[in-house]
């Protein structure tokens, strides 16, 4: 039976949305891996499957391109929310993920805003292999760590242009301190409301952007006292805005755009 899909991007962070409401979920780990292959499949950073849900407008299940599951993806959540809000002619919607029920809305400027939930800051929740102060990890460069439903490790640097991300990323991603691996961020603070961010994504990629990584980087910068509560996060593909008051949920706002729709055997 043909599988319908919609490919979208958020500042170049590309993802695929499959609507499996009112039907049996067709996506398995192996099929996600096949679809994620950029040479033999569709190609994406993440896949979001839209499912029926009793206590929200829909439930989202997420897959990485290598066939591994993840709890949340900020970009794909915004893309699914955009499609569902257009379908229902609504300006807001709720989506259940492994992070809980996320409230999504279309802003007056047309951006998609998502309540990404509270960041997890305890070492066991990230998780780390052993107890440490997550604001100052015992690694060279003293990065900070948090979780947005997936682990994030943030380095604050003076100049992003001199970093070899492809060389540094894999070693840090798989460091023994991170039993579930980690996303790795390198942040250059432009001013208290603006950072430049480059990302090594868990499971091996340098994406043009990432919603959850933007949130994790901003949260760690705010925790360090380097940033104000509202931050423009400029990734390689473009900017998003992250807001966190230091206590409650993190809000992520940014654009999403369709690329193409289709079916595959």
How far is the CA of 114 from the CAs of 41, 107, 242, 254, in angstroms?
A: 29, 10, 10, 9
Instruction: Check residue 41 and give left, alpha or beta (phi > 0: left; psi -120 to 50: alpha).
Output: beta
Strand (E) positions, the chain? 3-10, 13-19, 46-51, 58-64, 69-70, 92-97, 100-106, 112-115, 144-147, 151-156, 183-191, 194-200, 230-235, 238-243, 251-254, 257-264
Do residue 154 and residue 230 come from a single domain? Answer: yes
CATH number of the domain that 89 lies in?
3.10.310.10
Residue 126 domain-assigned? no
pLDDT (average), residues 165-193: 96
Tell me what pLDDT residue 203 has. 78
pLDDT at residue 44 greater than cutoff 80: yes
How far is the CA of 9 from the CAs of 49, 82, 125, 140, 159, in angstroms?
A: 15, 12, 29, 34, 27
Residue 202 domain-assigned? yes
Do residue 93 and residue 168 come from a single domain? Answer: no
- The string of pLDDT tens digits covering residues 83-124 is 999 999 999 999 999 989 999 999 999 999 999 999 999 999
Residue 11 domain-assigned? yes
Do residue 7 and residue 94 come from a single domain? Answer: yes
pLDDT at residue 1 greater than cutoff 90: no
Residue where a domain terminates, one of 106, 126, 161: 106
Residue 66 domain-assigned? yes
pLDDT (average), residues 150-173: 95
pLDDT (average), residues 112-141: 97
Tell me what pLDDT residue 204 has. 76
Residue 120 domain-assigned? no
Give the pLDDT band of residue 58 (cuts 50, 70, 90). very high
Do residue 80 and residue 8 come from a single domain? Answer: yes
The first and second tokens of residue 219, run together, are: 């949260």
- Overall domain count for the chain: 2
Query: Which pTM does this prediction carry?
Result: 0.94
Q: Mean pLDDT across the chain, nearest whole number?
A: 96
pLDDT at residue 42 greater than cutoff 90: yes
DSSP letter assigned to residue 250: -
Domain that holds residue 46: 3-106
Tell me what pLDDT residue 170 has. 94
Do residue 152 and residue 212 come from a single domain? Answer: yes
- 3 state SS of 227: coil
- The string of pLDDT tens digits covering residues 184-239 is 999 999 999 999 999 999 877 899 999 999 999 999 999 999 999 999 999 999 99
The first and second tokens of residue 87, run together, are: 């379908």
Tell me what pLDDT residue 3 has. 86
Q: How many whole angstroms separate alpha carbon 82 and alpha carbon 113? A: 10
With contact defined as beta carbons under 8 Å apart, do 121 and 101 qualify? no
pLDDT (average), residues 160-180: 95
With contact defined as beta carbons under 8 Å apart, do 206 and 8 qualify? no
């Amino acid at each position: 039976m043909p599988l319908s899909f919609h490919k979208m991007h958020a500042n170049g962070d590309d993802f695929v949305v499959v609507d499996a409401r009112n039907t049996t979920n067709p996506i398995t780990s192996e099929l996600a891996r096949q679809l994620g292959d950029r040479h033999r499949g569709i190609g994406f950073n993440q896949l979001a499957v839209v499912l029926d849900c009793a206590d929200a407008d829909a439930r989202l299940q997420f897959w990485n391109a290598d066939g591994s599951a993840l709890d949340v993806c900020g970009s794909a959540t915004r893309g699914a929310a955009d499609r569902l809000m257009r379908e229902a002619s609504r300006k807001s919607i709720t989506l259940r993920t492994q992070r809980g029920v996320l409230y999504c809305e279309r802003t007056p400027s047309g951006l998609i805003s998502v309540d990404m939930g509270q960041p997890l800051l305890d070492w066991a929740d990230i998780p780390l292999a052993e107890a440490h102060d997550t604001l100052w990890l015992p690694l060279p460069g003293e990065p900070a760590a948090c979780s947005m439903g997936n682990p994030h490790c943030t380095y604050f640097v003076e100049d992003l242009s001199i970093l070899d991300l492809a060389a540094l990323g894999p070693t840090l991603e798989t460091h023994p301190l991170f039993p579930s691996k980690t996303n790795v961020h390198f942040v250059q603070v432009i001013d208290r409301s603006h950072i430049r961010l480059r990302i090594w994504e868990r499971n091996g990629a340098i994406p043009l952007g990432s919603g959850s990584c933007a949130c994790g980087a901003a949260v760690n910068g705010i925790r360090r006292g380097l940033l104000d509560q509202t931050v423009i996060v400029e990734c390689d593909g473009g900017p998003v805005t992250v807001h966190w008051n230091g206590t409650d949920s993190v809000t992520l706002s940014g654009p999403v755009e369709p690329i193409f729709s289709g079916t595959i055997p």
